[in-house]
Amino acid sequence: MDLALLSLILFLITVIVGIATRVNCGLVAMITSFILVQFFMPDMTLTDVYALGWPSKIFFMMLAVTLLFGMAGANGTMEIIAKKLIRLLHGRTRLMPIFIFLLTFILSAAGAGPGIAPMIMPIAMGLCAETGLSALMMGVMIEAGAGAGGMSPISTNGIIANGFAQAAGATEYIGMYIPYVLIMTMEAVAIYFIRGGYKAENVAVSDTDEPIPPMDRYQKLTTAVIICVIFCVILLGLDVAMVAMVGAAVLLVFGAMKDRKAISTVNWNTLMLVAGMFMLITLVDHAGGIELISNTIMKFITPGTGTGVMALLSGLLAIVTSSSGVVMPTLIPVAGNIAATMGHGVTADLLIAGVCSGANSAFYSPFSVLGSMTIAMYPETVDRDKIFVAHLKLTFASIAFTSILAFAGFMRLFL
């Protein structure tokens, strides 16, 4: 059997086994990588796999960012910040959904990533109980905000996307990021009006109903460190990974958290997923699998439809598998390969923008990490079956909306 086809078959089996057994696809991918090199790729050694396949830069950046914000979440800093900010809109019901979206977006974009959603969901659901706002609307505001913010260059999914994009020949990540943010914002605004957020009546809620505890010295230190990290990255242009790691080290040195507990806050599942899949994708590419996919897709696309096709394909795949761990690592290299082959004004930036927007338009999916976390945190008064179906409908609507914009040339406005 042709090595390129074999590598793709083994890749597909890896994803299916990971989903079916609920075992981290990254770990399964490491096993597949070993099998490929040991039995089918005599021109490579395991040392080559470690040198070429392990995403050192991406891994370290994700480790540093998730360590810092994992500590901030575990010691209660993020929850207090969110509650204090929400209290600023006391009683202004119509503004609450908009504020929830912006709050989630800002915290996610600042480095917390989509993982900020579970911290804000209980607060948002409490607001729904007090004001009568739609729980589904608030859930969507959180998902859209967390998804859009999570693709920022200093947040987890953005770090992954930017790393793969640069390797595939892209040069303008911000230009790829902006259309996705606008798409998520448009969807949030649409839900706001469809679910009646604009006509909600103000309510009087006592400030003493749920008093916010004052920050202790460690939470104040954590807040100061996060502000310093964001300042150093955005205004001084310092390396994200190093600054975030220094920030985490400062918190540990000054006793904000024990080192063992701090390490346990890191999302190791995501790190291993990305690292394992990156390793396998590198081997699939070396075996010619990426080129085979590219040549196959090229039979169905033209310079005018390439971005739309990549967005639609990415969105459909992301319904049932990880956008950051599987879809983007798989299709971003494919997009780069197609761009290099096609020419005629089809750039890697355009096609990768389609992949990033499409893959992350499926965040509402009940089968995605963010979607499942959101659904799990709706109050018991919400009908689980109905909310499940509603999220599934939103997923397909979001993919369709994103794909239509991509086919219409929306991404070209920014690239």
Q: For residues 218 and 256, give the distance between their C-alpha atoms in angstroms, rounded to a whole number.
A: 5
Contacts of 199 (CB under 8 A, 6+ apart): 94
The DSSP-derived string for 136-175 is HHHHHHHHHHHHHHHTSTTSHHHHHHHHHHHHTT---HHH
Q: Is position 394 within any domain?
A: yes
Q: Is position 377 within any domain?
A: yes
DSSP 54: S
Provide the residue range defining the domain that includes 319. Answer: 3-53+91-204+267-413
Cβ burial of 406 (10 Å; 0-12, 13-18, 19+) is: buried
Q: Is position 218 within any domain?
A: no
Instruction: Provide the CB-side half-sphere exposure for 16 (13 A, CA).
Output: 6
Q: CA–CA distance from 226 to each of 58, 62, 71 (Å)? A: 20, 16, 11
Q: CA–CA distance from 17 to each of 25, 26, 62, 81, 403 (Å)? A: 8, 11, 25, 40, 29
Cβ burial of 381 (10 Å; 0-12, 13-18, 19+) is: exposed
Q: Is position 237 within any domain?
A: no
Q: For residues 24 and 366, give the distance between their C-alpha atoms in angstroms, rounded to a whole number.
A: 18
Phi, psi angle pair for 366, to nearest 5°: -65, -15
Q: Is position 86 within any domain?
A: no
Cβ neighbours, 10 Å, residue 43? 7
Q: CA–CA distance from 352 to each of 276, 302, 398 (Å)? A: 21, 15, 18
> Which residue in 211, 217, 228, 193 sits closest to 75, CA to CA?
217
254 SS3 class: coil
415 residues of the chain, pLDDT tens digit each: 689 899 889 988 988 888 788 788 888 989 999 999 889 988 888 788 877 778 777 788 778 877 887 888 788 887 787 677 667 776 678 888 998 999 899 988 988 778 778 777 777 877 787 677 888 999 999 999 999 999 998 888 898 899 899 988 888 899 999 999 999 999 999 999 998 888 877 765 554 356 778 888 999 999 899 888 878 876 776 777 888 899 999 999 998 888 788 888 887 877 887 788 888 888 888 888 877 877 787 777 777 888 999 999 899 888 767 788 778 988 999 898 888 887 677 788 999 999 999 999 988 887 676 777 777 678 777 776 788 888 889 999 999 999 999 999 999 999 8
Q: For residues 401 and 413, give the distance between their C-alpha atoms in angstroms, rounded to a whole number.
A: 17
Q: Is position 216 within any domain?
A: no
Q: For residues 54 and 46, give the distance between their C-alpha atoms in angstroms, rounded to a whole number.
A: 11
> Would you give the distance in Å from CA 216 to the centre of its chain?
31
Give the number of domains in the chain: 1
309 SS3 class: helix
Q: Is position 148 within any domain?
A: yes
Q: Is position 231 within any domain?
A: no
Cβ 108 vs Cβ 148: under 8 Å: yes
